[in-house]
């Protein structure tokens, strides 16, 4: 993927060993700090998704101290929550655990896409699982997509940016993952008059 992207918006920082990946997905991520999980992305961002101008607004995260207990199939404790508007919908990001006094956490998210920016006209629901890769990087996985999100601080002539690089995937009968269709990258800035173009590229990836 990195060969197709400009170095200043690349994905070289997303490096995880298999053990780290499984630990994060299993909720055994002791290095995740709930109070810092989403702070790097807070605020308003402006970009282009495919052919549509999109404004993202990541609201300040709310830390729960003590953690908030939710009862479903089994109790879950919420340590941090964040609301986000993503242009054609809205969603929540949460840091949760299976025990109130947990030392390890996991990240979950849920996005609702709507018609005509009307929150009562939901057309699609996309739950996803998150993995924190340092304080400025998040990996999100839905049932058929992977998104690598990174916030780049201002440096030299490059302003502060927030990049979403992703691809669609499918699983075959033997649980092998392969990419389908175009991969893509959207880059957002803090300036509504400075919207970076949408990028598409092909990526060949197959994983056991």
- pLDDT tens, 95-152? 999 888 888 888 999 999 999 888 899 999 999 999 888 789 999 999 899 999 999 9
Phi, psi of 157 (to 5 degrees): -85, -5
Read off the pLDDT band of 28 (50, 70, 90): low
Contacts 24+ apart (CB under 8 A), 189-192: 189/45, 189/46, 189/47, 189/159, 189/160, 189/161, 189/162, 190/43, 190/44, 190/45, 190/46, 190/159, 190/160, 191/46, 191/159, 192/46, 192/55
**Is 53 a residue whose pLDDT tops 70?**
yes
Whole-number mean pLDDT of the chain?
A: 86
Instruction: Report the percent of the chain where pLDDT is more than 90.
Output: 54
The structure's pTM equals 0.86
């Amino acid at each position: 993927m990195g060969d197709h992207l400009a170095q200043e918006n690349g994905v070289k920082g997303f490096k995880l060993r298999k053990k780290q990946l499984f630990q994060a997905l299993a909720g055994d991520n002791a290095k995740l700090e709930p109070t810092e999980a989403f702070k790097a992305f807070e605020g308003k961002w402006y970009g282009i998704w495919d052919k549509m101008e999109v404004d993202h607004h990541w609201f300040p995260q709310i830390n729960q101290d003590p953690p908030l207990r939710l009862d479903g199939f089994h109790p879950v404790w919420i340590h941090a929550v964040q609301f986000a508007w993503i242009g054609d919908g809205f969603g929540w990001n949460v840091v949760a655990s299976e025990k109130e006094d947990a030392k390890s956490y996991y990240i979950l998210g849920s996005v609702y896409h709507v018609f005509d920016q009307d929150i009562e006209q939901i057309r699609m629901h996309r739950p996803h699982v998150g993995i924190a890769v340092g304080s400025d990087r998040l990996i999100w996985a839905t049932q058929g997509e992977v998104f690598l999100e990174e916030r780049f601080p201002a440096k030299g002539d490059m302003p502060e940016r927030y990049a979403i690089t992703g691809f669609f995937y499918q699983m075959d009968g033997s649980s092998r993952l392969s990419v389908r269709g175009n991969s893509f990258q959207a880059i957002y800035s803090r300036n509504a008059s400075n919207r970076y173009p949408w990028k598409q590229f092909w990526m060949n990836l197959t994983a056991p």
